[in-house]
Every structure is written in structure tokens, then in C-alpha cells.
Structure 1
Amino acid sequence: MADLHQHPHGPEPSASDIKLVIAASSAGTIFEWYDFFIYGTLASFIGKAFFPSVGPTLQILLVWAGFAVGFGFRPLGAILFGYWGDRLGRKYTFLVTVTLMGVSTAGVGLTPPAESIGLWAPLIVIGLRILQGLALGGEYGGAAIYVSEHSPPRRRGYFTGFIQSSVVGGFVLSIIVVLLNQAFFSEATLAAWAWRVPFLLSLALLAISLWMRLKLSESPVFLAMQQEGEVSGNPFVESFTYPGNKRRIFVALFGVTGILTTIWYTAFFSSLSFLKGPMRVDATVVEVVIGLTALISMSFYVIVGAWSDKVGRKRPLVIGAAATLVLLFPLFWGMGSLANPGLQASARAAPVVVSGPACHTDPFADLSGNKLSDCGKLLETLTASGVPYTVRDASQVSLTVGGDPIAISPAWMADDAAHKKEADKARKAGIESALAARGFDFSVQYPPLIALMGIAAILLVLGALSALTYGGVAAQLTEMFPAPIRYSSMSIPYHIGAGYLGGFLPLIASYINARTGDAYAGLWYTWAVVAFGLVVAIWGLRGGPPRDYGEDAS
């Protein structure tokens, strides 16, 4: 069998051809990830439009659950489009994926709110998120393989680094569009209908992406396979029966994707949620700072990709994962102390203690029909307000701040349908008023410039950790698998890892935070996944200079 990672016998693509390949693939990837991320960037508006009848904690959890649903269907998309990509070709497969993504994203913007069509609204949105997940399952593998198979072997990490950078570019574009939307429309208009504009913009981005991608030719590697009769008969089945491939899939899932995806979502989405939520920093300030730092960090992925061409793919990933285990908690502690130092100081000076029987909270109580205990209701309110607390068992419910008891009004505890919302509002107002009198600051935070610069520096470090574990991955994964089953073999572990380990991260981390009352507790999920992945990477990835599949025994 010929070396199918190289170009067919004709001339290699020219410099201008490769530039077009990178530009078209990267632009499409930016637009497709924009479509996927705009949902998370506009989480608060989506919650109010499609999940209006539940409390704030459950509302944001339901939004993140919808976010996770899209990721949950990425592996199915990887199987479906991976099969087509290995059987029918790389080019037309990711033309289909970008079209499906653009149309389903616009559909979210056109879905009537729950007030108009009731339960159909969230069901339609979840259905559209499923379509987005299917599309994304085919997009990354197609774009990464397409660029890799056009690239000279010695520059494969550099060229595919632009694809990795484009994922961040989609996130940056979503923030830019949201900020422009906020600049053009009033808060009332945004809440009423203008939040839908970014979703509808996807139709214009789809047109641009299709125009660029239709200019491309098929991958030279796929053309070579066609010429030599090496196209796989059933790439999905062969991905699990090809000698040694199951081991490679395991390593790609946990030792590569599990690491990079949890670090990526922690660096960008967890920091966004952390600063906007428990730290109470003004939403526009957060979006500007994160958008600028993400824009700067886009270059890191290309730099790391080029570095991996020299030192191999394993070293940057292992360094990034190990550094994350050491730095993750200190970075977020530092970000918290800069973003809202008053909250940190007040929590230390006047610790909040909640005592009582059945003293635990359940963020999904509204859905399950379970009623929270009075103690659990206090915990729910403190969690939603971003206040850390300590729980103690006791026969009677009590709340103390710095040792001083806080009077608990019976009006706070009603849980019948007619009075629950009023009770929730009264409890929140009463607790925050009592804590404010003891030094807690619940106002919107506008950190001074020096603090914002410190937050930006921390975000850039998180971006660098993400780049170390992500920059050379497209080249890494394409080199791990044989060409006839490459689209399927790399897409399946990548999208299982990214879909479940990473895509469920905002939901899992938010749930852990809600159950513990600790804004930092959700980071343990990232830490555990990265720690396991690091062990797998050290064991399973080959070191040394980059090598294509088949150049050694692995």
C-alpha cells in the first residue's frame, strides 16, 4: 500500500493552494464554532426565554444542560460524518456539516419563547442543539484532516495550528457579536427580541463559508486512495478491528482529548461563568476582557503547533497538562481575589454557617417535585448569591454570619406554587440585606484597571495552558491513524472526549458548585480528568519527532 499520508503522484499543492485550504477551512471552523458557542455566550437570555418558570440556579443549569445535549450528540455526528468522509470524501462531507450547523443555529433565533408556545419552545431548542451537535461531530475531523493532508509533513503542526486557533476564533467572534448587539440595542430591546440577532447572523456566515469551501478541491490523500482502490468499505467497523487501533482510540480519547477539552472549557467558559456569576463582575466588562485575551491567545495555538513540528506532539501536551494540575486552583483563586476582593475578605472576616436537619440542596428539586428542607432553601439562596458557607448538622435551622444569628422569616420558606416565587425573592432580599450589613458587597463589580490587567494576565496563562495541550492535536490525531479510516478513527474518540468530558463540564461544574456552595469546587472535575489523562498520555503517546502512522511499530 502506498504512503497515503503523502500527496498522490502529481505535484504537491502550491503555497497559494495551501493558503486557500487553510483560510477556507479555518473560516468555516470559526463560523461553525461561533454557531455552537453563541448559545453559551447568551445563556442568560436563553434561560429567560425558554426556561422562565424555574428559579435562577435551576434555570442556568437547564441552559447548560441544553448546551451539553449538543455535545452529547457529537459522537453520533462523528460516526455518521466520519463514515461519509472516509467513504465519499473530505470536501463534501464538511460542506454538509457547515450547512446543517448554520441552519439549526438560525432556528434557535426563530423559535418562539415559552410564553407563546409553552413546552414546545425548550423542546424545539433542544432538538436544534442535537442537530448542532451532529454537525459539529463531523466538522472538526473534516477540517483538521483536510488541512493536514494538504500539509508538508515538516509543517503539519504549524498549518493545522490554525484550525485549533479557529476554535478559539469562534468563541471570540461570539463575544464580539454579543458586545456589538449590546451596543446597538437597549437592555429592554435585548430582552424582548434583539438577543436573537446573533443567531440569525449565522445565515450570513453560512453563505460566506459555503462560498469559500466550494472553491476547494478534494484532499490529495483521498484522491490517492480512490486511485489505488484503498477506500474503506466500512470505516466505522474497521476503526475497531484494524490492528492496534482500539489502543490508539483509547489513548486519543483519554490521553489527548480528555486533557485538551477540559482545560479549554475551563479556561474560557468556566472563567466566563465564574466572573459573571459568583464574582458579580459586570457582564460587559467580563466579555471585553475575556474576548481580548482569547483573541491574543489565538496566536498561542499556531506557535505551539509549529513547536510540535520540532519537538514532537507529546512534549507540549504533557507539559501543559502537568502545569494545569499545579496552577489551576491558584489561578482561579487569584482571579477571584482580583475580581471581587470584598467578597473574599467578608467571607473570611464573617464566615457564614448554616445549621439544621436535612441540610443539603438539590438544584433539580423544581423538576423532580422534591421539596427542599428549610435549611436547603437557605443553601440554595446563598449559592445563587455566590456566598461561600459552612454546613453543620443541628436539630433547628439557623443562619449565622461571623457568629451573629440572622433572623429567619417564615415568609422565606413557603413552597406552595402560589407563593414560592415570592418566598424565593423575599429570602434572597432578606439574606443579602443581612449580609450586606455585615460587610458583604452584592453590587455589580467594576474592578479597577490594575485588577483587570491582573485578571487578563491570568486568563492569558489559562489560554497558554490550553494551547500547549491543543495546538498540535490536529496533527497528532491525523498521524495516529491509517488514512483509509482516519476520518472515523480520529473523530470518534475526539468527539466522545470533547462531547462528554468537555461538553458536560459547565453543567457538572455548576452542579458541584451548587451542591457545595463553593465557587471553586467545580474545578476538581477538570483536575481529575486532566490527572487521569496525563497518566494515559505518558503511557500511550509516542515521543520524539512527529511520525506518520506506520513509520514505527506503534
Structure 2
Amino acid sequence: MATSGNQGAKDGVTVGRKDGMVIGAASVGTVFEWYDFYLYGSLATYITHHFFSGVNETTGYIFALLAFAAGFAVRPFGALVFGRLGDLWGRKNTFLVTMLLMGLSTFVVGLLPSYEQIGIIAPIALVAMRLIQGLALGGEYGGAATYVAEHAPANRRGLYTSFIQITATFGLFLSLIVILGTRHVIGEDAFKEYGWRIPFLISVLLLGVSLWIRLQLSESPSFQKMIDEGKGSKQPLTDSFARWGNLKIVILALVGLTAGQAVVWYTGQFYALFFLEKMLKVDGGLTNGLVAISLLIGTPFFVLFGWLSDKIGRKWIIMTGCILACLTYFPLFKSLTVAANPQLAAAVAAAPVTVVADPADCSFQFDPVGKTVFNTSCDLAKSYLAKAGVTYTNAAAPAGTVAQVRIGETVLPSFAGDTMDKAAFKDRKKAWEAELGAALKTAGYPAKADSALVNKPLVVGILTLLVIYVTMVYGPIAAMLVEMFPTNIRYTSMSLPYHIGNGWFGGFLPTTAFAMVAATGNIYYGLWYPIVVAGVTAVMGILFLKETKDVDIEA
């Protein structure tokens, strides 16, 4: 089998200094990627307040999530643009450009004026920065993975490329440290007002160091050999996607590999944080701290599974991670509820909430302009429960029936606000919500989780297990994707399925799962999205994927 890179380290146990430089320089882009990702996700509430204050709170939060997802929506297009450049122009030059674009767009978010200062231009500018970063990200990961794999000894590609995944988690961990540190130094009030910008502005330091490191690199040996032998592709897009022999591998890489990897990744390291803070009402600072500890514990498993994939193969490690996620997500997240907010878990068990309403009386409560008043009896009930973070089930009532909220044995009728004038509706709504809130409190439903009652060791244990699933699917995947495609179209071919999987299937997970929860009232219902996607990937991967660890990537 042909090999490349540092041959002296081929049979060794450690990564040499030269190889360490290659891995570190190629991986700094993933630090940016996940640093910005976690910043935006963790600070979505503040971003909603400053950039989407022209609409109501619920609509603003949905818009913030959509702006978050916009950066992921364009990643496959970036994969096409920069993947093509990477196969024509070289790995090093291309990911220098993507690094610069990513770093500057993250930095600029910290400088943008708010909605109150410049109106509608503020959210437009925010989305523009997300789109620029998304395009750059589309070319970043494929370049980094390809560059490292083409330097690595043949029997250590899984180990070497797994360090890219470690730096992804390092980016997330770094963002948590910066957020927590900034909050501690300036206080919560100042952080809400202006301090949330500081983590974005600090990214310029990371950009400077990263660019300097990457400028020290030379081109990958496999690419240089291909160019010297005149075997490069002159039309990488056509060769990748217009020829069935390669296109079918691209499709299989997406459906049987990256889609499942993406949803497991995002569930374990982002949706879990969202679930703790938004669904279970755990204090934001405590949530970030618990997630940070679990990341610290789980991160070495990226290298473990990367190394193991060099011994036993990539395929079954990734498939096992997907299968475990499908089988255990529901019990794990239900256990997370009991551990993080035991009062809520007890209340749900003792006094489950049901909204009994005429289905025709219930709306999909998304208002793009923030002007619609949801005032039917069903909408009033569901809106309050959703804002209070209360899980409920739905039961159909006969047409024309005024909705009821059942809390255990207590029944509280709603009211038909759509038949009342504005002043009377406002007064009645205020009194009814106070009555419903009191009934929920009496039934044991807490307004927020009591930090003193959080079983912190158990929460960290559950979060760590979710992170270990992530390391199983993500640790070996870069090596496997590189090994699936030939050198002359490798950057283009692997980038597209990776970024459709992570940009679309993964990037839209928070928005999709949130919408599923809001529509059903069940805080666990959004888990069906990653479970179904990971299940499809497991079936397709087991049936149709071939093991790649012994492939000669220069053949």
C-alpha cells in the first residue's frame, strides 16, 4: 500500500513534531467553525434581543435560530466553490482563503449595530455574516481533512485526522470559557447589554495566530505528486457529480455516513445544551459549566476511536454510534430531566397537563411580522404553556368547544379572546394567565430549575455519554471520507456530502426539533428527528458501505 507523510513515524506510537505542525495548522479552522457555532447557539437569546427586537419574543427567537441555520444552508455551495478550487489550486492556498473569510465574518458580528440603532439593516447584516461564514466553512473541513490525511502514514490516517475532531470540540470548549469568563468579569447586566459582543471580537486574535501558522505550511505531498505527474482534474465538479461511478459514492457518503454522524453530533453537543436551558429551565451559567465538563471528559475519545479505526476499521465504529443513539436517546433525555429538574419531572408524573381543544381552534404560532394576535382559546393555552416550558399532550374536543387545560385532576377553561374587544381581551388574558400560573405552581411545576437540586454528577455523566456517541461517529469520519475518493477530485467529492450532512441535516436540527416540540407540546418529541436520520444512516451504511481503512489513497 502506498503511504505518504512522515515515514519515520509510520510504525511509531507518537505524532512527530512535523506531523503535529501539519495537524495543528490544518485543524485551526475547525476551532473557528465550532467556536462561532457555539457562540451563536449559546448567545441566541441575546442576539434575539439586539437584532430581532422588532417582532414578538417567540418569533424573534425562531428568527434567531433561522439566522443560525442560514450559515449551514449555504455550506454545500461553499463546498462546491472551494472544493473545486482545492482540487485545482491546491489544499493550502484554498484553506488560507476560507480561514480569512471565516475569521473576519465572526469578528464583524461583534461590531454590528443593533435593531434599535439601524432597524431592519441589523438582522440583514447579521444574516449576511452568517452566509459568508457558511460559504467559507463549506471549503474548510474538506481541505483540512484532505491535507492531514494526505500527509499521514497509511496505517495512521484515522489517528491523525481524529485530531481535527478534537480541535472542533476545543473550539466549543473555548467558547464556553470565553462566555463564562466574560460574564464573571463584567456581570450579567453588562453582558446582556454589550458584553455578549466580546467573545466575537476576541476571535480576531485566534484569526491572526491561525493565519500565521498556516502560512508556514507547504502543499500536501499527494496533491504535489499528482500535479507533477500531470494527473490533476481540469473539471472537478463534472468528474465528481456528472459521472455516475463517483456520484453514487457521493450519495452513499451522505445517506450512509454523514447525515447520521451530523445529527448525533448536533444532538450530543448542542441540542443537549438547548434542552437543558430552554426546556428544563436550568440556569444558563450552570448549563454551560456542566456541558464544558462533559466535553473535557469526552474529548480524548475522539483520538481513541480514530486510533481504533486504524486497527479494526472505520465503518462499524460509526454505525455503532448511530445505533446506540437511536436506542438510547429517549431514556437518556428523560433521565436528564429527572437529574436536572427533579421538581419538573415529579410534577409531570403527578399532574400531567393536557390541552383539550377543537383542532380548528389551534394555529401554528409563527408570525413573521410580529403583529398577529393569537387569541383563540386553544392558542392562548398553548402559548402560555410553551413560554412556561410545560410539557403537555393534545386531546381533540368537539367543534366549537372552548379549550380546557387539565392539570392532573384540575380543569381550567380557557376563553375565546377572538370574540372580545382589545381592552377587555387584555384584562381577561392577564387574569387568566395568573390563574393558570397559580394552578401550575400548586401542581408543583417550577418556574425554573432549582440549581441546588440539580444532580450535577448524573447530568455530567449523561452529557458525557452523549459526547462519547459523538466521538464514535465523528472521530473516524474524516479518514473514511478521504479514503472514499481519488486524489484529483477528493476535496470536491468529500466536501459536498460532508456539508450537506452537517450543514443541512445537522445545522437545521435545532430549528426542526424546536418546531416539533412546539407543535406537539412534548419536550422529547424533537428527538425523533435525529433518531430517524441516524437510523436510516445505520441501515444504509451497514448494507452498502465498504470498509476503507486499507485503501491506497494515492492509487
TM superposition score normalised by structure 2: 0.93
Question: Residue 41 of structure 2: SS of its match in structure 1?
Answer: helix
Question: Which of 391, 395, 405 is the equivalent residue of 2:394?
Answer: 391
Unaligned runs of 5+ in 1: none
Is the contact made by 2:483 and 2:549 (CA closer than 8 Å) also made in structure 1? no
Residue 416 of structure 2 corresponds to residue 401 of structure 1 = no
Q: In structure 2, what is the equivalent of residue 379 of structure 1?
A: 382
2:102 counterpart letter in structure 1: M
Q: In structure 2, what is the equivalent of residue 431 of structure 1?
A: 436
Residue 464 of structure 2 corresponds to residue 460 of structure 1 = yes
Change (3 A) 1:361 1:458: farther
CA distance in 1 between counterparts of 2:277 and 2:97 reads 36
Q: In structure 1, what is the equivalent of residue 522 of structure 2?
A: 518
Q: In structure 1, what is the equivalent of residue 42 of structure 2?
A: 41
Question: Residue 522 of structure 1: SS of its match in structure 2?
Answer: helix
CA distance in 1 between counterparts of 2:133 and 2:377 reads 41
Change (3 A) 1:139 1:346: same
Is the contact made by 2:55 and 2:370 (CA closer than 8 Å) also made in structure 1? no
1:273-329 Cα deviation digits (max 9, x unpaired): 110012111111110010111122111111100000001111101111111111111
Is the contact made by 2:56 and 2:370 (CA closer than 8 Å) also made in structure 1? no
Select between 434-443 and 37-46 the one with higher mean Cα deviation: 434-443
Q: In structure 2, what is the equivalent of residue 127 of structure 1?
A: 128
CA distance in 2 between counterparts of 1:237 and 1:276 reads 46
CA distance in 1 between counterparts of 2:87 and 2:444 reads 62
Is the contact made by 2:32 and 2:102 (CA closer than 8 Å) also made in structure 1? no
CA distance in 2 between counterparts of 1:419 and 1:195 reads 40
1:300 counterpart letter in structure 2: F
Is the contact made by 1:166 and 1:298 (CA closer than 8 Å) also made in structure 2? no
Change (3 A) 1:427 1:146: farther
**1:79-478 paired onto structure 2 within 5 Å:** 79-242=80-243, 244-357=245-358, 358-367=360-369, 372=374, 373-394=376-397, 395-406=401-412, 408=414, 429-448=434-453, 451-478=455-482
Is the contact made by 1:79 and 1:488 (CA closer than 8 Å) also made in structure 2? yes
Question: Residue 353 of structure 1: SS of its match in structure 2?
Answer: strand
**1:11-26 paired onto structure 2 within 5 Å:** 15-26=16-27
Is the contact made by 2:76 and 2:500 (CA closer than 8 Å) also made in structure 1? yes
Is the contact made by 1:313 and 1:546 (CA closer than 8 Å) also made in structure 2? no
Is the contact made by 2:3 and 2:552 (CA closer than 8 Å) also made in structure 1? no
Change (3 A) 1:545 1:34: closer
CA distance in 2 between counterparts of 1:407 and 1:174 reads 46
CA distance in 2 between counterparts of 1:244 and 1:505 reads 31
Q: In structure 2, what is the equivalent of residue 67 of structure 1?
A: 68
CA distance in 1 between counterparts of 2:102 and 2:168 reads 15
Change (3 A) 1:489 1:533: same
Q: In structure 2, what is the equivalent of residue 506 of structure 1?
A: 510
CA distance in 1 between counterparts of 2:368 and 2:438 reads 25
CA distance in 2 between counterparts of 1:321 and 1:204 reads 37
Q: In structure 2, what is the equivalent of residue 485 of structure 1?
A: 489
Offset of 1:389 from its aligned partner?
1.4
Is the contact made by 1:354 and 1:400 (CA closer than 8 Å) also made in structure 2? yes
Offset of 1:368 from its aligned partner?
8.3
Q: In structure 1, what is the equivalent of residue 533 of structure 2?
A: 529
Offset of 1:87 from its aligned partner?
0.3
Question: Residue 111 of structure 1: SS of its match in structure 2?
Answer: coil
Offset of 1:430 from its aligned partner?
4.4
TM superposition score normalised by structure 1: 0.93
Is the contact made by 2:262 and 2:501 (CA closer than 8 Å) also made in structure 1? yes
1:464 counterpart letter in structure 2: I
CA distance in 2 between counterparts of 1:285 and 1:393 reads 39
Is the contact made by 1:412 and 1:423 (CA closer than 8 Å) also made in structure 2? no
2:407 counterpart letter in structure 1: V
Is the contact made by 2:402 and 2:414 (CA closer than 8 Å) also made in structure 1? no
Offset of 1:43 from its aligned partner?
0.8
Question: Residue 355 of structure 1: SS of its match in structure 2?
Answer: strand
CA distance in 2 between counterparts of 1:497 and 1:422 reads 49
CA distance in 2 between counterparts of 1:19 and 1:307 reads 19
Unaligned runs of 5+ in 2: none
Is the contact made by 2:6 and 2:153 (CA closer than 8 Å) also made in structure 1? no
Is the contact made by 1:39 and 1:67 (CA closer than 8 Å) also made in structure 2? yes
Question: Residue 355 of structure 2: SS of its match in structure 1?
Answer: strand
Offset of 1:397 from its aligned partner?
2.3
Select between 346-355 and 422-431 the one with higher mean Cα deviation: 422-431
CA distance in 2 between counterparts of 1:115 and 1:411 reads 31
CA distance in 2 between counterparts of 1:152 and 1:430 reads 68
Select between 19-28 and 463-472 the one with higher mean Cα deviation: 19-28
CA distance in 1 between counterparts of 2:133 and 2:432 reads 39
Question: Residue 281 of structure 1: SS of its match in structure 2?
Answer: coil
Change (3 A) 1:464 1:402: same
Is the contact made by 1:414 and 1:423 (CA closer than 8 Å) also made in structure 2? no
CA distance in 2 between counterparts of 1:256 and 1:102 reads 29
2:507 counterpart letter in structure 1: G
CA distance in 2 between counterparts of 1:415 and 1:27 reads 59
CA distance in 2 between counterparts of 1:273 and 1:429 reads 27
Change (3 A) 1:8 1:179: closer
